[in-house]
Chain A
């Protein structure tokens, strides 16, 4: 398959991957306003990049590569403010239904724990949490499968410690 994705389909692909984009953005950026901006940047970058998709890898892989590259670019441009100052911004979402409060708190705890991971481990962990297998993570990040395995093991250990601390 070498044909490019048609113009009208690009928006549909972006919208289909929007939940993954939002989650990835939350994994990289905890400041609410910047998280929103990062999500939009990821969506836009994906929309543009789909024009160049030549089918040499799976669409899934391609999408995650673009998303995570935009995130790294975002870190380069925006890690200049103190994240700790705004660390709990997500915790005060005004439209949280009370019935889901506990689940939301768990999600926020997970997000905070993921944020504590070093970038190289965080990337692998977020992709694994999305249900991506080791071979595909290796394709997305351009590292060997063995390296993915090592990073994943370290990430799980550190994530467990982080989550235990939160309780």
Chain B
């Protein structure tokens, strides 16, 4: 491609038809809604964590069966660990976004994707662990009362749905990382 050919291409590229001006006001509104959504999500997660913790503490002081106490204890530790690890990764991502120099965008975005992949990986492993303990809980309950708990089976169904979703999310994040690394 010689200079003249490239110049013709540049002219063609720059001669795109005019389009209506940007709708900045709508963008500002959308940005506000996104921020509100983000804070609402974090608030809901925190609330769930507090509720499960309160439930666990109440179960410790009430005459609840040991298996239930153990199950709630596991749920509490599992939830708290997930909450801490995922939010630590989110804070790392926010720091990357805040500190990123404009000239290092690709690198920063690759780091963000690595954090995202790490979070999905953690979610997969944590969900598998949760499923394993849930199965144990169901079996112990069955051994004690010869009745399968419908809530436990429902929980397993939710886990069975969530796992492929997490795996797909992780795979797609990996694909995007590959695109950015080209």
List B contacts of A65 (CB < 8 A): 102-103, 105
B1 and A159 contacting across the interface, CB-CB below 8 Å:
yes
Contact with B along A122-136 (1 / 0, CB 8 A): 000000111100000
A129 and B15 contacting across the interface, CB-CB below 8 Å:
no
A44 and B31 contacting across the interface, CB-CB below 8 Å:
yes
A91 at interface by CB-CB < 8 Å: no
Closest Cβ of chain A: how far from B34's Cβ, in Å? 11
Out of B6, B17, B22, B176, name the residue touching A18 (CB < 8 Å): B22
B1 and A110 contacting across the interface, CB-CB below 8 Å:
no
The count of residues in chain B whose C-beta lies closer than 8 Å to any C-beta of chain A is 35
Out of B10, B102, B105, B109, name the residue touching A129 (CB < 8 Å): B10
Q: A23-B13, A129-B13 are in contact. Are A80 and B176 (CB under 8 A)?
A: yes
List A contacts of B4 (CB < 8 A): none
B143 at interface by CB-CB < 8 Å: no
A85 at interface by CB-CB < 8 Å: no
Q: Which A136-152 residues have a C-beta within 8 angstroms of B?
A: 139-142
Q: Which A20-43 residues have a C-beta within 8 angstroms of B?
A: 21-23, 26, 39-41, 43
Closest Cβ of chain A: how far from B31's Cβ, in Å? 7
B22 and A15 contacting across the interface, CB-CB below 8 Å:
yes
Whole-angstrom CA separation of A22 from B109 in the bound complex: 22
A23 and B14 contacting across the interface, CB-CB below 8 Å:
yes
Q: Which B8-59 residues have a C-beta within 8 angstroms of A?
A: 9-10, 12-19, 21-24, 26-28, 31
A165 at interface by CB-CB < 8 Å: no
Closest Cβ of chain A: how far from B176's Cβ, in Å? 5
Mostly helix, strand, loop or mixed at chain B's interface?
Answer: helix
Out of A43, A66, A160, name the residue touching B27 (CB < 8 Å): A43
Closest Cβ of chain A: how far from B161's Cβ, in Å? 19
List B contacts of A142 (CB < 8 A): 101-105
B180 and A44 contacting across the interface, CB-CB below 8 Å:
no
A99 at interface by CB-CB < 8 Å: no
A73 at interface by CB-CB < 8 Å: yes
List B contacts of A103 (CB < 8 A): 12, 15
List B contacts of A11 (CB < 8 A): 24
B24 and A14 contacting across the interface, CB-CB below 8 Å:
yes
A120 at interface by CB-CB < 8 Å: yes
A119 at interface by CB-CB < 8 Å: yes
**Top-6 shortest CB links A-B:** A142-B103, A43-B22, A44-B27, A118-B182, A69-B105, A129-B13
Residues of B within 8 A of A (CB): 1, 6, 9-10, 12-19, 21-24, 26-28, 31, 101-106, 109, 112-113, 172, 175-176, 179-180, 182
- Given contact pairs A129-B9, A131-B14, enumerate 9 new A-B contacts (beta carbons under 8 Å): A14-B24, A23-B16, A40-B23, A43-B22, A44-B27, A75-B176, A103-B12, A110-B9, A159-B9
